[in-house]
Amino acid sequence: MRICRILILLGVLLSMEAASLSQTVVADASAPAPVPIVITLQDAISRAKTNSPEFHAALTEEGIAQQDKVLARSLLLPSVNYNQQFIYTQPVLDNAPRFIANNGVHEYLAQGNAHQELNVADLALYRRSIALAELSRAKAQIAARGLLVTVVQNYYGFVVAQRKYSTAQMASAEAARFFDISQKLERGGEVAHADTIKAHLQLNDKERDFREAVLGLERARVSLALLIFPDFNQNFSVVDDLRLPDGLPSYEEVERLAKQSNPDLAVALSAVKAGNFEVQSAKAGYFPVVAFDYNYGIDASHFATKTDGVRNLGYSAVATLSLPIWNWGATHSKVKQSILRRDQAKLELTFAQRRLLGQLKLLYQEAQTSNEELDLLRQSAQLASESLRLTTLRYQGGEATVLEVVDAQNAFALARNTFDDGEVRYRTALANLQTLTGTF
């Protein structure tokens, strides 16, 4: 009986646990899905700057260059150190030290040292570090503008993927409707069976296009999610602002901005500056170096300020002049190397100037042409939609062939997709142009 009671109690407990689990499952199933995050283009750019390892690598290099400048500046300033030392020497007769270099058996040193070195090379290295810091800052700007282009492409690529998904869905529904019309007309004896076959083939093609559009949408979503989120988050939506394109300034204004704030040109200019200072630093090996040392403290046989009434505190000063005499041509080789690097930097500067003019003209023409084509593409999309409607009505009235309807359906999908691609092309062209000019 006791065993039966235990089994009954276990059964009751198991049933209660199963009931609680079922309630939890029902509660989870009825819980509302999380609301997707709405992302604008500026949000995407800000998030990408936070999560992009390439952009952060450029920022890291900029920070390192700034610290290199601080280190180079420290070589020009005096340094202060404190040294404390105890020296024990084996004694000989009369408690004198065995080693002649030592002052006594017990020697205590506690001194502060101020050191200053005057070196032409250090000054040139400091100026070179300033130029390299400017160079790294310009490279960080290049990385930021390149990231902007990447974000624009992925952001509007996702917007267009959504549009193409909608277009493929509409085209598939239109093909299904046309297939139904052809079947009804065939049953009424108004069209041949070949029309129905052609309509069925068209429906298969549009359904396949719809599946490809679904795949393209998922690819675009994943690409954008990897760019803007620190984790793999796909629960987001974007704002479709392609219908509100930015205006294109005049070429004169774009050229002025490019000359003022082009990071590629700034990198080349900073490289030339750094090369000039590197040459100066290498030539400094021919000049003497002057160093000053001032010591204050004790150097006595007892660790005390006074010994037997004698004050141990004192100071000493040392001035050192180092003259380079002979180093087997090492300084000359360093100068030759620095001159070769500086000349290469000058050549790259002139090429960067020419390339800037060429890229500026081509990118501006690309933006201008894509902007001018938008009205034509929009008009073509509207005409294709109207043509599809009229051709379908004519087919139902027996005035058009099945091939005309199929061509109208294909032209409708192609025109809408081309218009969407045209809008992305214009936004991408603007982003590419702004890599040379900055925001306008």
Residue 144 lies inside a defined structural domain of this protein: yes
Residue 389 lies inside a defined structural domain of this protein: yes
Domain containing residue 136: CATH number: 1.20.1600.10
Number of domains in the chain: 1
103-107, 288-292, 352-356: the lowest-pLDDT one: 103-107
- Nearest C-alpha neighbor of 48 from the set 115, 143, 157: 143
Most confidently predicted of 16-25, 303-312, 404-413: 404-413
Q: 90: pLDDT confidence band, cut at 50, 70 and 90?
A: confident
**Contact by Cβ (8 Å): 289, 123:** no
Prediction pTM value: 0.81
Per-residue pLDDT for 25 more than 80? Answer: no
User: How many angstroms separate the CA atoms of 399 and 385, rounded?
Assistant: 19
Q: What is the pLDDT of residues 144-153, one digit of tens each?
A: 999 999 999 9
Per-residue pLDDT for 426 more than 80? Answer: yes
When pLDDT is averaged across residues 101-114 and rounded to a whole number, the result is: 88
Give me the domain span that covers residue 179. 46-75+119-287+324-437
User: How many angstroms separate the CA atoms of 133 and 405, rounded?
Assistant: 65
Percent of the chain with pLDDT over 90: 77
User: How many angstroms separate the CA atoms of 240 and 243, rounded?
Assistant: 8
Report pLDDT for 32.
66
When pLDDT is averaged across residues 405-425 and rounded to a whole number, the result is: 96
Place of tokens 């003497």: 288
DSSP 8-state class, residue 290: E
Per-residue pLDDT for 14 more than 80? Answer: no
**Contact by Cβ (8 Å): 269, 353:** no
User: How many angstroms separate the CA atoms of 35 and 287, rounded?
Assistant: 71
Average per-residue pLDDT for the chain: 89
Place of tokens 């952009």: 55
Per-residue pLDDT for 254 more than 70? Answer: yes
When pLDDT is averaged across residues 230-257 and rounded to a whole number, the result is: 89
**Contact by Cβ (8 Å): 404, 147:** no
When pLDDT is averaged across residues 313-325 and rounded to a whole number, the result is: 94
Residue 247 lies inside a defined structural domain of this protein: yes
Residue 36 lies inside a defined structural domain of this protein: no
Per-residue pLDDT for 307 more than 90? Answer: no
- The DSSP line for 373-424 is HHHHHHHHHHHHHHHHHHHHHHHHTTSS-HHHHHHHHHHHHHHHHHHHHHHH
Query: What six digits make up the tokens of 322?
Result: 């180092």
Report pLDDT for 116.
93
Residue 189 lies inside a defined structural domain of this protein: yes
Percent of the chain with pLDDT over 70: 92
Residue 93 lies inside a defined structural domain of this protein: no
Residue 83 lies inside a defined structural domain of this protein: no
Q: How far is CA 393 from CA 180, 188, 214, 379, 408, in A?
A: 14, 17, 30, 21, 12
When pLDDT is averaged across residues 154-160 and rounded to a whole number, the result is: 96
- The DSSP line for 100-142 is TTSSSSEEEEEEEEEEEEE-HHHHHHHHHHHHHHHHHHHHHHH
Q: 87: pLDDT confidence band, cut at 50, 70 and 90?
A: confident
Per-residue pLDDT for 378 more than 90? Answer: yes
Residues with Cβ within 8 Å of 120's Cβ and at least 6 positions away in sequence, in order, are: 280, 284, 287
Residue 204 lies inside a defined structural domain of this protein: yes
Q: 106: pLDDT confidence band, cut at 50, 70 and 90?
A: confident
**Contact by Cβ (8 Å): 324, 331:** yes
**Contact by Cβ (8 Å): 159, 244:** no
Report pLDDT for 411.
96
